[in-house]
Structure 1
Amino acid sequence: MSAASDQERVEGPFPRLDWLPDETLFSLCSRQHLVMGNLSPATTSIAVLGLRQQFIKHDIPCGIAALETTGFGYWGTAESILLNHTIFSLFVPFQNEVKIEDAIITAKSDRIDSIKYRLGLVSSGFGAEHPLKACPYCMREDVHVHGIAYWHLTHQYPGVLICPRHQAWLMASTKSRRWSGRFEWSLPAEKFLIEQASSQKLWSRPVFLALADNVIDLAAIGRATFFEPYAVAAAYRTAVLQGSRAASLFERTEPLRRFHLFESLPADKKGSESFVNQLVRSPRRSIHPLKHLVLIDWLFDDLRSFLEAYKVEVARSAQKVESTPSRAPDRRVSLSSSGAPAKNALRPKRLKGQLREDLLSKLAEGVSKQVLCEEFQITVSTINKLLRAHPATYAAALKARHRREIDEHRSQWQNLHGLYPELGVQALRNTMPPLYAWLYRNDKDWLIAEAQTFSKPAHVNKPHVDWEARDYRLLSMLRTAFESIALPQRGAVTMAQLCAMIPMLSTCLENRDQYHESRAYLSTVLGRSKPKDFLDYIEAINASKRR
């Protein structure tokens, strides 16, 4: 059990704190930990979330439904906290609604499970690690106004590397990292903050500021809106066909690729084409919102222009649906239907001569009983008696009716595909599940053959990675960091110190098949056991994620 046992649970009452402007849940819990005077992070975690220390999460939390039972329900509902005080809302707009509902249920529970993998963060190329960030100017203002520095939500979103208010580069915390203070409550303090990267002063400030604005705007949209995938892809396609851009995509993203978070962005023409092809079709899997924002920045310059184009595509799709002729009400009566006649209804009659022959002929063609009852002014009971007397006609009627139903359902499926040509079979099935279910049960071979005509998902070519160049760059950074640490302190250098100087180090070393020169250097300067122990630790973390 991840929840605390009765013996470990901490009893209230507790000091009552409330939200500060733009504060994260992790920050409020950290302030609660401070005023409660607890020495152990686990004590506060149990008291607030009912969970052990190992479940302290600073980005996407778990166990928030327990706030109502632990005496902190006045902070708000679980959904409100998740959408307004965590980075979760950033991942909502471009996601499937069912996945988001499932993720909210997971966040309420006492285990985070594989929520980051299901949201597409692990395989996105941007990573699923979201280090805590703070603006030094905001910290000073917070201390002056509120008496304490705290974590601002707008600083924590992935892709936000600059403070929109002060236009100052954000500092990254060395706490709540895999290599330092992983399961601790913490508040921003200058002694625990470092630069995002050593080359930070060379970055293009306007480019990162524009990205930060778009990220924050998208997160605000995600608190109330889901985008229609087909309309998003249609807006992209229209912009690609109509737009004439001064710079190519890889030229536009060149300033971003200087930071290791964006190294996976395309760096040549072929990679750019693959990147665009992935997004101009309705996605069949979860795609990181930063990919969408990179493409939006290239095609539309800002999120507001994209929203206008998106609304046009939604309206165009709605007009297409309205212009599609609706089917007439189904007035057919089942061949096996029977029931008591209504008051003043026609009574059964005997059929003779030409009337009998005409009725048998139309029954064999599959004309519905209701239509024939109105045409010949007879009852359903009369038709049923006639069918029982002519088994061959009854069999032909069943076959004709089945043929007509198949044709109608096929036509509906093809019309649906015509309305949403960019959707795959699974997405189209979710649009009208009963129609797909009927065809799967009664016309499976045709359904499978028809699916072969659907457009296939775009093949995404992974960009070539120059691992030798990356290894050389990391080795150079390691040598510089080691010298800057070892010379002043004249003592042994630890892995945690190196990770603090090079935040990307722990992520790089997760790839056991690369960075050979860097690993050899670490073995030399730290001792042969240290890097291996560290890698075993990283592997244990990854194994726990997979579980």
Structure 2
Amino acid sequence: MLTFFTDPHEDELLYGAIARYHYYIGNIDYKDTLRELFGRDSVIPSLYLPCKLEHLAKQLGKKYTSDYLIKNHTLFPFYAPFLPKERKNTLINTMKFEDGQGIYTRLGMVAGGICKKEGIYYCPLCSQKEIKKYGEAYIHRIHQVQGVFVCPEHEVKLKKYKIDKTKASRIEFIRLDEKLLELDIERKAIDKELVKIAQAARYLLDNDLAAFDKEFVAKKYKELLDKKGFLSVNKTIQQKKLYNAFIWFYGKELLNKLESDIDQDDEYNWLKVISRNSKRTVHPIRHILFIDFLTEDIKHFFKSKEEGYSPFGESPWPCLNPVAEHYKKDVVTNLKITADYKTRLPVGTFSCTCGFVYSRKGPDQFEEDRYRVGRIKAFGHVWENKLKAYLKEEKYGLREVARLMKCDPKTIKNFDKKLGLNYFEGSKAIVKEVKVNKAQGKEIDIQAYKDKIIGTIREQPSLSRTQIRRLCQKEYSYLYSHEKEWLFSNLPKKMNKQEIDYKSDQRVAWDVRDTEIVEAVKEAHRKLLASQKPIRITKSNIGKMLGILPTLEKNLDKLPKTKEFLDSILESVTDFQIRRSKKIIDEKIARKEPVRLWEIQRLAGIRTKAFNKIKDSLEAYINRGG
């Protein structure tokens, strides 16, 4: 066991600490140093990934472990999150127990290496600071990372040390000599993207990401690609769309500097490989580029191994059992997300401990969506016990019980029979008529179809047959084929155009409806403005949101208040681009981040020609402080 060793500094490569040990111990032959530290003189010093670390740790006593040295004083953490689990464990064992032969090939640096550094690099400002504090400069891990050209702390260009490691002896340990350091700073402007890449690389080195591996990263990529709209309906990657967006995001000049050009016609270009979760090796710098493109924050990407795309917001979620004491309180933690078989949109199934299970289609866009039920899958024991209590009182009619339980009378009758209470057994039957559609192999709820037609007629008695058919296409089509007699007997009588116009004015109190609709439109407008993802304010979007688009398109002249309000809020494409950009500016100011127009353009996704038209307006907005 050694009685003396030069303790490695923060972010110092183990290689540099050994070089200082050799210098201070006074050894003339490097083989003596190798035998003292590693037990044999055939070990080849490695700048990035040293080996035989278990033996070295034993020589150092209880002060260091091999795991500590790997984590804090080698470049292994820079590569680890992007390696398959088995290969990662194999490489760790190689660094601990073996001589390191072929380690770079196993890592994938030979096949996937980019921006290779032939020498040792240092930051002039870091070196100045260390000479003042320690009396000497040392070799930083982050400064040796391939693809890192600037110091992430001082944002200055790195310099190459005058002694070239590739031209020195294989067993020589090179130490930074103050006399050979150039400590002047190059004043040339530094590309901010290069600074951001260096800071992301430092994040990989400085944080414990042992729980992450290639499988997790690939899964997270797929979720983010889906969220960003780069997946088709059948969940395949739209590679051309991804390529165009990626090139626009970075520009070819930066990608060329990082030796990360993309040949779109190459089936195995690195962008296709990284997005498809291929078995091929992709350099961590390219992972950093891809993560920055998808999230613009590597910290958020690795925030939690369990955390992914949350189309229904964060846990817990509200229970929507209307008779439970915890109604609308956030108590649900059990959520299962599946994909709608047609649209592939996420469908969330929420299960509460009270037994109430409901589902809805996502993703949620507004806070109110958290309290929306698409379908009730189970009412649960709390709901059933409440129903039993009401029925045992024997003082409520069917519709009164349905009102108290906040459900349909047919549901009450079904549970009355299911629970064996038979309280309404003698009452007039409410039959849920169901037939099987043989062509589609699905159950069709005919009564629900009929209710939809009748409900539409009651809500809007002025509608013609054609308008009802447009509003209830699925129901109308099925009933026309299977229940034509019922359909025609319940539809309004046929009218010519003059009759339609006359009866519409007679039956509908347009002044009352105008007041109702304008309030609904104002509320929709507030929700659109508050939406986390900006949505353009158009008549179409508001109409679809409220389910009154036909009314806004055909009867707006009869709704003067609504028309006046709509005219005052509707956005042109330019208006929407300005609002979208201002939202990004406000967020940056709130986070105390620098506001740069080129970055605003990129984040807002606006083409240069269009952005030039709104640039002056945005500059004025920035100068006012948002």
TM-score by length of 1: 0.49
Structure with larger Rg = 2
The structure with more helix, counted as a fraction of residues: 1
Structure with bigger RCO (C-alpha 8 Å, 6+ apart): 1
